[in-house]
Structure 1
């Protein structure tokens, strides 16, 4: 329902517009949008005021202003007034809401009485974009109201162009939908999620090296170890070498790569030497002239062969989560899973989404937290009222 409440106010001292326009109109309360069309945006459910002004002429002292939505069957709403010796008249048209104006333009007509007849003096059109607060113009899972609150575009699903939708950044990853690199470490949020680094921390493994640096030099940005600290030292050495001139980046990488390879080889030799050193107090091995061990030392077929160390079974991350839940009466808060395993929030979120799709877990939102429960172990009182 639209209610028109018209008020007039006169102001002297103004003259007609330079382009000859007599009447102008605009909405008082508009919505600021990012990267949207160049039209006034207004909320459908809120009241608003159409502010109309017109210039009087010497030909008449009686005017009528009419406002109506184009294409509507409703009669236009008009008001008429006799005005004195003024130049500018303001007319405010109030709307309880703008549902009747949705997808329509508003026409404002100014009539004046000339020789006893009302004639059209001027007209203008207002082209508002009427939007619903709970709508989603760009289908990015953020309502139009939420887009306004976050400063994102209602017309672009990925405002910062980092290949992550605004909705997923706000709701799932807690990254900034306005900055492609939330933690400013040189890697976009999408790259960090793909690499399983934390888009909210420039140094995921807290080893003193930024994630982007570790990516460039070939170390693991999710695990802190001595090799990475060695890399930092190598970089310092390379920096000293480069002090007298420019060093090609590929050469630097080659130096670092060779240094890392040397560390790995040295570590392997050290482990081998340590293992051999365990038997140094026993008899040393002797050989015959032909290089073969003596007959007395030939391995006996009856001698029991010592089995090699068996690798530990690999437990998937999803199985780790299931075990965590079972160790805690079948459920935990999502934040507790993050803390328990020291995983990034984005990694936990992706794993839980996958596990929920395969019905291994159930996710229940309680206030601002998510309760994660193994299927069939939802705490009493938290079951969905819409379940079977």
Structure 2
């Protein structure tokens, strides 16, 4: 009798939407009590247009999230108010409805006894909405059913035994017209076999369907994860990456050298003429210095400051700043900044002549001031 009472409650759910039953006696377990519609049912105008969709989202840990969604036509403002009262009472745990957690806890108890697995109904919630035109009320009950699926020997999952009762029957005997059951595939699994068709990766059954003759079952196989990378491929990638890093480091080093090390040719560019003022000449040829002009000097070993001093010594101790830029190949900004720093350290003197700077060694500045 207990199984028959619970099955009848499900029939009220799938055929009559969310019609709440009246239990005449809280301790009585009779089909008559569960089948009697409450006053709220009449107020909501229950008819054949009610629809129910049950979505079961199976998880890889064998739990399943259920969403039982019922739609009911609302013919008047009184129907709308009755629907909203029902939703409010369900949320407060005060409603006496066939669509409540108590009914599914009864089903879970039957399934646990039938399968030998511990099962619970947890995280229950209710949500109700009315369409914008006020003609349809949608009530959704959500919960988690633990240990709903069973693991297979090959590492897959199987859904089906949680719908059975200890006497070998099922607490879910059929889907009525306009009712639908959707069983969603768990992550990292795919459907291997099922009692109904597959739509967008989910098993979908649409009523009318006699589930006693065609019991619910879905078999999932675990999909293989990504193959581990080939160690040889990893070594190859690492080697290529190391080579690329070396190339980049070499390019950066060469660029730095080009910016900091002047060219070895200290003379003017071929075909160029270095403009000199009479004061710069002092009657001597700057390219034929008596002491250092003939010396072979490795300019790459000199610092920037020493390079400037060397050029000045080779040209009689004085040069225009523009000529230093030409001889070193450095940028105007770098030469200007370097000469300013050397002037601060009194390694050179800067003299402004018109729009140009005349750079001289400190002893040469004395000579221009008549201290020679």
What TM-score, normalized by structure 2, do the two folds share?
0.23
Larger Rg: 2
The structure whose residues are more often helix, as a share, is 2
Q: Which has the higher contact order (CA 8 A, sep 6+)?
A: 2
What TM-score, normalized by structure 1, do the two folds share?
0.22
